[in-house]
Structure 1
């Protein structure tokens, strides 16, 4: 087997650190997880962490990026292969039922957002990431509206912001009370699209 290049080795180390930090942040929370704990659990020195990330905030941003990428893929898979808009919303609802309100993920998002509120640079980084998520959601909405010939009275960007905001709020509520149904989100979308509510 060929030896890894320095860049490949560093990429692998970074990936393992992000994966380990994700497990620890989700299990124990942002504040309770130190960089030392991440390094130990991943089998690296603290120096290896600092050679890949400036600080814990930067590591947490990488963890959130990984979680968001995973969830975006899961949403696309949940809607793939569905022939009607109603079926796609059913797929989205299935994803939402399994995901929205996950206590560890919701707590991490809220804990980190609270942490960065006084740091303009980190707030800007988080805002950029939120804008990227809204952009991906806007593209997904536009593609589906175009494919099915549906026109909405508001821009797709506004729909994206509303759906994301409703999803985040619902996530926080479901983290507290899992009995709250996710259909609150998908039925709102069905109403906006003129589809029957189940």
Structure 2
């Protein structure tokens, strides 16, 4: 007999299914093509269930962006928190699924975020604020990475963070448009190349 979910577990499951539904619909039909009705119906819920979890379509759209960026940042933060030699650290970074951009559908979603920011000034302000938050966090991790490698960053860490985020998004979109995933590890290798971090003895 299947155990009944608690109210909190049920609410989390509903939010997760709504987010999954929204991600698929936004990627397939764009921001304008995915209505609240469609998102709720595709997830198997009513419109009321949607609004009990998200105040608007814009809110769920931004949560998708925030969740994706946080996954990338948290994965790198966990690696940098380890007390391991530099070669092993670089090896683990290269082998990290999350960091190397394995979220195939995010290429299309990221393009939609950019387009919606161009169309809607209100959305653009919220989007810019969220971007700055993630950029500043990533800049801190970039600083920590170079410190662990005992190297000096080649430019302002915030500029490097912007480059990393743009490169990850662009390559993800390129992989989507080419109708196939990028070569394993390609995104991370490209980022390390741009950062000027060559393989060191013992890496690989």
Structure 1 pair 82–101 and aligned structure 2 pair: CA distance change class (3 A): same
Q: In the alignment, which residue of structure 1 is the partner of 2:94? A: 93
Determine whether 1:21 maps to 2:22. Answer: yes
Q: In the alignment, which residue of structure 1 is the partner of 2:57? A: 56
What TM-score do the two structures reach when normalised by structure 1?
A: 0.74
- SS of the residue corresponding to residue 123 of structure 1 reads helix
Q: In the alignment, which residue of structure 1 is the partner of 2:190? A: 184
Q: In the alignment, which residue of structure 1 is the partner of 2:134? A: 133
Structure 1 pair 19–84 and aligned structure 2 pair: CA distance change class (3 A): same
Deviation at 1:12, TM superposition (A): 6.3
Q: In the alignment, which residue of structure 1 is the partner of 2:111? A: 110
Aligned equivalents of 2:32 and 2:132: distance in 1? 25
Unpaired runs of 5+ residues, structure 2, are none
Could you report, residue by residue, the CA deviation over 1:31-55 in whole angstroms, capped at 9, with x for unpaired residues? Answer: 4433212212333321232344343
Deviation at 1:117, TM superposition (A): 0.8
What TM-score do the two structures reach when normalised by structure 2?
A: 0.72
- SS of the residue corresponding to residue 119 of structure 2 reads coil
Alpha-carbon contact 2:135-2:158 (below 8 Å) kept: yes
Alpha-carbon contact 2:104-2:176 (below 8 Å) kept: yes
Q: In the alignment, which residue of structure 2 is the partner of 1:34? A: 35
Larger helix proportion of the pair: 1
Unpaired runs of 5+ residues, structure 1, are none
Aligned equivalents of 1:3 and 1:74: distance in 2? 29
Q: In the alignment, which residue of structure 2 is the partner of 1:143? A: 144
Q: In the alignment, which residue of structure 2 is the partner of 1:47? A: 48
Alpha-carbon contact 2:106-2:173 (below 8 Å) kept: no
Deviates more, 1:53-62 or 1:175-184: 175-184
